[in-house]
Amino acid sequence: MKYATRFFGFVLMAAILGACRVVPGTDGEGATEKEKAFIAVSWNVQALFDWKVDGFEYGEYLPSAGWNREKYDARILSISKALGGLAETGVPDLIGLVELENSGVLEDLANGALSKYGYKYMFFGNAPGSSLGVGALSRFPLTEVKVHSITVNGETTPRPVLELRVEKEGEGLVFFVCHWKSKLGGDEATEALRRSSAKVIKRRLEELHKDEPGLPVVVMGDLNENHDEFYRQAGVSLSALLPDDPKAAELAGGLNSLDFLVLSGEKPPRARYFNPRIPCLYTPWGRELEDGSYYYKNNWETIDHFLLSAELFNGRGWDFDTAKVVNQQPFANESGIPASYNPKSGIGMSDHLPLALFLRKADDSR
């Protein structure tokens, strides 16, 4: 299996610039937020299509199926209100969203019930001809943005990786906003695509660590793989996310291409069983995060993630505080299960729950 990665360059520069916008409007009520905190939210919003027909829509989001502008406007309002409601525990500084049709959807969210919070910066990315992409809204400048296109065996996947650099309080943070390939078609058949995405992030982690030691990095989004995927597969096959486990390290030892991320529950994260040069990331699942974010066949899955680099545990600049699954209404029903959206009735939110990440400014600032 050959893997190649390339940046969307000059050919798509116009499209990229068009998708990176400053939304006009007020600075919002952000003046009241705690400047010593950084809050990020990650959410798969479940196929957020606009009302226009572009030829790439899912069947249930076509006029023939009853989808129209009224339903779209109502959904934008409900999603933006729900996200705005998170401000009760602190206004999110960055919102990473998965399964958006285009940049116009992002702008509609920013100009809706979220407008008073001042999400002036936005970025969207997808592969040409794909139905859905990934995007982000930020209250603080995105000082650098990249779209990593992923090619496997000569075929470009429809799921790029966004790389965003955010500056707040004079401190930079890098976020990778992801939507890895789903398991539709079979776990084994689709694993190579998830591992190709992991390889892109692994390479960038190594490059950033070399070029800017001390720069904190967060991997976020729907990775379509559980934090304990290796154990769920009985520890007999490799996956894109591997635990720092001796058996996993032994299985991976013979690989020529390291196309996986190593996860740890230690703070700071460090690999005990893998080569120390392999980046190791902290996962809050099983610690700060419980149950899951996606409920499938009566079982919880932990396929949505915040994965944190060791630089968020060194007592300098931004440091990890906590994380949580947002499992209250309107995101969830009374049982805490995601309130899936039904395009026919227009009822519900998403089949995924959002995750919230809380960082704090360390006293010993860099």
- Judged against a pLDDT cut of 80, whether residue 111 lies above it is answered with yes
Whether residue 365 has pLDDT greater than 50: no
3-state helix, strand, coil in the chain (%, to 5): 25, 30, 45
Give residue-wise pLDDT tens across range 53-73. 999 999 999 999 999 999 999
Q: Which residue has the tokens 């019930």?
A: 113
Confidence of residue 10 (pLDDT cuts 50, 70, 90): very low
In the predicted structure, residue 276 carries a pLDDT above the cut 50: yes
Distance (Å, whole) CA 259 – CA 197 = 8
Mean pLDDT confidence for 112-123:
96
pLDDT of residue 277: 79
Cα separation, 47 vs 140, in Å, equals 26
The 8 Å CB, 24+ separation contacts for 82-89 are 82/330, 82/331, 82/349, 83/41, 83/43, 83/109, 83/113, 83/114, 83/354, 84/113, 84/114, 84/116, 84/117, 85/330, 86/41, 86/326, 86/354, 86/356, 87/29, 87/117, 89/356
Record the pTM.
0.91
Question: Sorting pLDDT into bands at 50, 70 and 90, what band is 364?
Answer: low
Q: What is the pLDDT of residues 283-300, one digit of tens each?
A: 999 999 999 999 999 999
Q: Give 290 or 255, the one with higher predicted confidence.
A: 290
Model confidence at 118: pLDDT above 50:
yes
Does the domain made of 3-185+312-361 have the CATH classification 3.30.70?
Answer: no
pLDDT band, very low/low/confident/very high, at 22 (cuts 50, 70, 90): low
Mean pLDDT of the region 43-47: 99
Mean pLDDT of 315-324: 96
Any idea which of 149-153, 221-225, 240-244 has the lowest mean pLDDT?
Answer: 149-153
Of the pLDDT bands very low, low, confident and very high (cuts 50, 70, 90), residue 302 is very high
- Cis peptide before 330, with omega less than 30 degrees from 0? yes
The pLDDT assigned to 185 comes to 81
The rounded mean pLDDT for the chain is 89
Residue 23: per-residue pLDDT: 53
Residue 255 has pLDDT above 80, yes or no: no
Mean pLDDT of 182-204: 89
**Structure confidence by residue, pLDDT tens digits, 137-173:** 999 999 999 999 877 776 666 679 999 999 998 999 9
